[in-house]
A = this chain, B = another copy of it.
């Protein structure tokens, strides 16, 4: 049997919390599983809980008025989702969709709020985390503003490789996640058709191996060249 307070202790985020606080947080926590396609929370709902991903994959999406979805981030085990909004009692900035069956820990934002106000180190740690996310977001804004679709797709593949890439023989990197053309399109502000055409072109050049919901990067270096718009 897994002890929740142990799980929390292992997580990077909570390592500043004293054992007593960990226990209180754990006591109020709920463990749950979610299946592919489930929404853990919905955009614009008031946030009182945040979630720690224990296994599986979850992504944060924003819905546009005209029905398109935009993927903001993907979360892997160890990541917290909705932490800041739950702590500050705001609304969720998007919906959290499970893309691969996941185990989650639902935690109380209010309790975290209390602990953060008592333990400055905890608040500071979370601040760094959010700052890093902000930095990433700003980079994406720059990319969306100034770069072509090709470059952005290349970049997102490289980012995914870093986050959840598995090394294969011959320097290839397999992206260990279900990843449809539509998913890539939503990450890059483009259409599934354009993603398809782009991947097909790269397959011809042996840069990637793109199967159904599965991408293997064969020549990471070439992808970097494309992302940086350098001649190959």
Residues of chain A touching chain B, judged by Cβ–Cβ distance below 8 Å, are 62, 64-66, 68, 70, 72, 84-85, 87-88, 90, 93-94, 113, 116-124, 126-128, 130-131, 133-135, 137-142, 144-147, 186, 188-189, 228-229
Contact = CB atoms under 8 A, between A and B. Distances in A.
Given A93-B135, A93-B138, A124-B123, A145 B88 contact: no
Number of copies: 2
5 shortest interchain CB distances as A-B pairs: A145-B189, A123-B123, A137-B137, A144-B144, A120-B120
A232 B7 CA distance: 55
Contact of A72 (B64, B90, B141): B141
Given A117-B121, A123-B123, A127-B123, A144 B88 contact: no
Contacts of A88: 127-128, 131
B72 A189 contact: no
